[in-house]
Every structure is written in structure tokens, then in C-alpha cells.
A and B are shown apart, each in its own frame.
Chain A
């Protein structure tokens, strides 16, 4: 019994095909969201099927999640809040807090011991707590986002980024660069600023263990910045950017066999 999860996020679309009998992921793929997320999700779904040697008839149920979930052809939709909780329950069953930082939003979920969402907070109004901020900095420095962590290694003193707004923070960064501040310290400062915005959503109430999911979890240095901001260790599951899509596939499985 194969189920599919499609996470049509604001920055990227991810697809996971899951063997419901074994719990094994059969195939996964992702792509930056360009336009027409519904059509793109369908194409990506076809790619995932082909990669797994499957056809659409092999898939019992499809659940879509993410910002553009309503545009995706699926049997039903489930919010990314619930899907991340389900995905984390599968990969890190003990987790009681989930921090998800995506391209254009961030979330903080508190889970009960059974992995159900107790409550959640979500930031999709301010880029300063999202991967978009890191992308902006990478563009300003002329490097790929994936390089930021390596570049920040060995910094002695993260620069203080005081602005609450990513646009004005960019102005601060330009000023810091002009003043000769090392890039490593600026990058570390930006990572700390992103982490601080996310930690603020927790309001000081974080129950361990903390799972860190979403595409930004793959950026070197972000986990450390988040640990510093939360005052807690964080655990990154395998393939953190696919946690929502995995959760959607598991949600599909639950809908077939509750």
C-alpha cells in the first residue's frame, strides 16, 4: 500500500512516496517553486513515481500540504502544522517541540507525548525569521546559501543585527560590510538573528527534545544558532526539508488505516 505526500511550500515543492506496509520511503524529490504550483507539483509527483518505478495506480492515497496545498491535485489536504508533527513523530518519536524554518515562514509546534499538536505559533509575516533572510544575505555576499555555514565557521564575534525587519537589516549588513566587518561575523550575526526571531515564538517555553526541520535546518551553523537562542539542544532528522511531505504521506496512510 503506497501513499504519497506533496508539500507545496512557499519556496519549494517536495514529494514523498511511502510504503505503508513497511514505513519505508520509496522515493522523494523536490524542486524550487516557480509558478503554477499545482501543475509543478503534478510534474514532480510523476518524477517521484518514475524514480520509484511506480505508476499513479499504485498509489492508494495522496495528501497535499503546504502553503499551496489547495492548488495540488490530491485526495485531501492537511495543514503543514499537522504534517510536520506527524513527520517528526515518525523520525524522532520522542520530540516534544518542533521548530520548522522554511523559505518564507517559520513555525514552532509543541507536541504532546503522543506526538499530537498541543499548540503552535507561526510566522509568515516577517522575513527576518525565515530562510528568505539567509537567501538575501547570500545574494548580497554573492555566495550560495549552502556556503553560508562554511563561511561563518571560526567567527569570533557575531555581528549584532538589530533591525526587526529583513529589508532594514540588509541596510545594516551593507554598513557592516562597508566598515570592514568580516563576512564570517556578519553571517553568524544573521543566523543568530533568524534564530532569535524563531525563539521568540516559543515565549521561553520549550520542552525537550527539540526537532529542527525544514530546508533551513540543512544550512550549516543554523542548528548552533538555534540552540543558542533556545538554550536547548536541537536534533535534525534525516532529510529535514522533507518532513512535511513525509508527514503528508503518513497522514494519507492514517486516513486509509486509522
Chain B
């Protein structure tokens, strides 16, 4: 039971009580995972989880965010909803004391976790944001119903070179009386001849003029945060906020390196997906996120040193593009004989360290411009190819999000580059918030991909 493996929620119930009897030490949000299912997170009943205490802590951290936000409100803190940019505004907000940032867009997982029985999607439907939009439309229902998170004191949202559907959803939210501080992210382009260029994180570059523009936009965000808190967000605070964010990113980077390369695979795809998602907004508690990810890394290091893992040694390394609306699919990948060996979940700029040797706002502007969603799909494809090489991928899954506007055209661009440069088998799947009805087709595609990869080796 103590050796690494994946277990059901029922198994965790038994294991939890044994661990507690053995002296398991937990933070305030600890407890058996089954309680979340009892409160409505029914999808957990279908998942298989890593059986380690650090994984338990990761899941409990994820599934208690709502309580954390309400606690912050009750303690008199300010709550900032950082929408769309996935990793810059949240870093700024957390730089101020007594401010908690969260990611309202994250409500897109709620229909999955709660097996759709929330009413959030129905509210979005009634507001004209129907299923032709990305499942992130659940956010609209969450706001209107006052469910899942308290009403933020400030909403910050990037627009411009972002998803069309998300812009439409955010504008609908604004029209309903939720004031939003908009800031604009331009479409990242390459510098023209004679135009000054600036290096960005992730091996990218952009014209200096674009970086200056984004910096001016982030000045607006800074001013909004200062107005909210009646406190100056000076460079020293920002630098410390960046240092903390980078500490998290370094830990996550090492976790990815080990989890994606070690044989046998020391940590499953599901926990890696959740761990990476923390990079966007630290699950509303930056300091605790660092502890959670640090403990997970310690466990993975321990397993790697002992040659232990959760999957068969012959599991085929698969690189995954785009996050899934239904967490179950990450289990399905492993049931089909694959293992996660890299990911590009649309927020790679939140994984790369923010430059610490330049002025903080300049560093954040460069990071914001490195957002994979504000640049050409070919830039994403380049990074995916690099990471496939780095992690030794033998196949690539491009997971489409139903209704997501960025998925409409980029899949072919990514798949073509992967095939042409790496000659890896690639498959495209579409994952709705609950994939049970589509599971046979998804399984067939994933199994066929893994069969193809095995034939080549």
C-alpha cells in the first residue's frame, strides 16, 4: 500500500485513515478526499489518484480554494480576479500584502469536477453564451450565481490578442455590472529589419516597441492594484513578488524534469496537470503553493532515487498539448499505455522564470508578451518541438477544447511541425467537460497513437 501506485477515491479513504493513525501531519485544509465528493465534486469518484501524502495535499489544496478565498475575504483581505493572461497579473497582485489573486477562468473545471450538476453552464446558456463557446463560459454562471468564489474586489483581464470566445465572455460579464480593468496584449510579432528587438522568456523575441506598450498596460494594472489597496506597489515589492513566483517556477521546473523523464514514471499525468495549473495563480495562496509543490518534488525525487514509479516501465512517453476539460482523460492516457512526458498547456510563460536582473515591470511585460496565446501558433509549435526533444517524447496528443477559438486553427500548424521536424505520430482529440460518452473514441485514438509509436520502436 505504501509503494507508489494509483488508487481510487475509495482506496484513498482507507489509506487516509491508516496514514492519520500513523501520524500524518496535515495543514488546515487537509482531510480525506472523499469529503470533496460528498460536497458535490462527483468526478473525483471516477478518477485514479497518486497514493502519496504530498499528492493528497496537492488535491486538498486544489479543492479548498473556495474556502481559502472566503477566509481571505473574512480576514479583510482584498481579492483580485486575474483573468486570461494566466500568469502575470496574479504575480503583481500577490506582490502586495493582504491581497489574494485567483483565476476566475478556472471555473472551466467546475462542470467536470461537479459532473456538470452546477447550473453554471445553464446560466451561461441563458445569457447567450452557449456551448459553441469554450467551457470557460462556466465562469459566467459562477459569477452570476455567486457560486465557487466570492465576488472579487477587482477584476483584471487581458484583451487584444487573446481568445475571441474568452473576450466575448468577459465582455458579457462586464455588461452584467462587473467592472473590469482591461489591459491590452498585442499580437506578438517578430521585429522588422532595423527595428529594435527584445529577448523574451522561453526563447522568444519581440519588438522593443511592443514590450514598451505592454509595460504601459501593466502600469494601468499596477495603478489599479494601488488604488484597490491604497498602497504603493513599488519596485521592491514587485521584485520580491517576482522572486517568490520564480521560486515556485524553479520547483515546478525540476518536478517536470523528473516526472517527465524518469523511468519508471514517478508521478502520474493527473497530478502533473494539477501541479502545472498552480503556476497560473498559485491556487490563491502563493506561499502554500510553494510548500505543496516542494513536497511533491521531494516525493518524486525520493521515488526517482529508488527507481520507483506509478506506471509500467514500457509506458510510451507522450507529449500533451492543451489542458483537458475532463480530468479523467489524463487517467485514460495511462490506461491506454502512455505516460505524460511533457506538456504545453497554453501558459508556458507561467513556467519560465521571470527575468530577475531587469526592472520588475519590464520583466513582467516581457513575460506577458511570451504568452503562447498572444503569439503565432508557429511559436507554440517551435516550443513544443523543443520540449518533445528535451523530454524524449515518442508521440504527441493535441487536445482540442470544444468551442475554444484558439484551437480552431493552431492544431494543424502544431501537428505539421511536429511531423516534419520530429517525425512523431500525432493525434488530435476533443475533450468536453465530461467525456464519458466520447471515451470509446478517445481511447481508440490514444491506443492507436501508442500502437503507432510502439511500431516505430
CB within 8 Å of B: which residues of A? Answer: 67, 78-82, 105, 116-122, 124-125, 203
Given contacts A117-B455, A119-B425, A125-B430, contact A81 B419 (CB under 8 A): no
Given contacts A116-B456, A117-B455, contact A67 B427 (CB under 8 A): no
Nearest CB of B to A44, in Å: 20
Interface residues of chain B: helix, strand, loop or mixed (majority): helix
Whether B441 lies near A124 (C-beta < 8 A) is yes
B427-457: which have CB < 8 Å to A? 427-428, 430, 438, 440-441, 444-445, 447-448, 451-452, 455-456
Please name all residues of chain B whose beta carbon is closer than 8 Å to the beta carbon of A125 when the two chains form the complex.
430, 438, 441
Please name all residues of chain A whose beta carbon is closer than 8 Å to the beta carbon of B441 when the two chains form the complex.
105, 122, 124-125
Whether A203 lies near B452 (C-beta < 8 A) is no
Whether A82 lies near B444 (C-beta < 8 A) is no
CB within 8 Å of A: which residues of B? Answer: 412, 415, 419, 425-428, 430, 438, 440-441, 444-445, 447-448, 451-452, 455-456
Whether B452 lies near A80 (C-beta < 8 A) is no
**How many Cβ-Cβ contacts under 8 Å join chain A to chain B?**
48
Complexed CA–CA distance, A190 and B448 (Å): 30
Please name all residues of chain A whose beta carbon is closer than 8 Å to the beta carbon of B444 when the two chains form the complex.
67, 79-81, 122, 124
Q: Which residue of B lies closest to A82 (CB)?
A: B451
19 A–B contacts from the bound complex (CB under 8 Å): A78-B451, A79-B444, A80-B448, A81-B451, A81-B452, A82-B452, A82-B455, A116-B452, A116-B455, A117-B425, A117-B448, A117-B451, A118-B419, A119-B419, A119-B427, A120-B448, A120-B452, A122-B441, A125-B438
Q: Which residue of B lies closest to A110 (CB)?
A: B419
Please name all residues of chain A whose beta carbon is closer than 8 Å to the beta carbon of B448 when the two chains form the complex.
79-82, 117, 120
Nearest CB of A to B431, in Å: 12
Nearest CB of B to A83, in Å: 10
Please name all residues of chain B whose beta carbon is closer than 8 Å to the beta carbon of A121 when the two chains form the complex.
428
13 additional A-B residue pairs with CB within 8 Å, beyond A81-B451, A82-B455, A125-B441: A67-B440, A67-B444, A78-B451, A80-B448, A82-B452, A105-B441, A119-B415, A119-B419, A119-B425, A120-B427, A120-B448, A121-B428, A125-B430
5 smallest CB-CB distances across A and B, nearest first, come from A81-B448, A79-B448, A117-B452, A124-B441, A82-B451
Whether B451 lies near A79 (C-beta < 8 A) is yes
Return the contact of A118 from the options B425, B447, B451 (Cβ within 8 A). Answer: B425
Nearest CB of B to A227, in Å: 24
Nearest CB of B to A202, in Å: 12
Nearest CB of B to A141, in Å: 30
Please name all residues of chain B whose beta carbon is closer than 8 Å to the beta carbon of A67 when the two chains form the complex.
440, 444
Complexed CA–CA distance, A43 and B455 (Å): 32
Please name all residues of chain B whose beta carbon is closer than 8 Å to the beta carbon of A122 when the two chains form the complex.
441, 444-445
Nearest CB of A to B441, in Å: 5
